[in-house]
Amino acid sequence: MDNPIPGTDTAMPYVFIGDEAFPLEYHLMRPFPRRSLTDEKKIFNYRLSRARKLKVCAFGISANMWGIFLKPIETQPDFACDIIKSVCILNNFIPNNEPHRMKIVDSEESWTSPTQNMGRAETVLNRRPSNKAMEARDKLTTYFVSPTGSVPWQN
């Protein structure tokens, strides 16, 4: 189900974020290829990379704080969902300035050039994405450079 992007009437799907190893799909965003990037495409790639890094950091923080994610969760799927929701709720109750939490949280300044020095990943499937998938990525690209969707730290 598609929903409007905040501050717009542009409908977009909920998406997973992948790196260059994944194919572009309607529900799976990946960066633009690195060759001949426009400024808009560079901004899209940066924002996608930043979101991906945020997800990885959030998972790492949860794994280090609670330990439950350091090994497979061997339980019924419904109970595993309850565990994951509980960890999310508990993370919201721990103050951000607690010493043990400060050691594992990235600071805003350390997020510069998140894709720098990354090796090229080979694409799993070498096929052309659907027009629908390319249109979805183009909509996000346009949104990220618009006055509504841009942020000061992206330029």
pLDDT in tens, 113-153: 444 444 444 444 457 899 999 999 999 999 999 999 999 88
Q: What angle do CA 141, 143, 146 make, to 5 degrees?
A: 115
Interval 100-124 mean pLDDT: 45
Interval 35-45 mean pLDDT: 94
Q: Could you give phi then psi for residue 46, rounded to 5 degrees?
A: -65, -45
Confidence tier at 99 by pLDDT (50, 70, 90): low
Q: Please state whether 53 falls in left (phi above 0), alpha (psi between -120 and 50) or beta.
A: alpha
**What length is written for the chain?**
155
- Structure tokens given for 135: 């249109």
Q: Between β-strands 3-4 and 11-12, what pairing exists: parallel, antiparallel or unpaired? A: antiparallel
Coil, strand or helix: which one is 111? helix
> What's the pLDDT at 101?
54
> What's the pLDDT at 60?
84
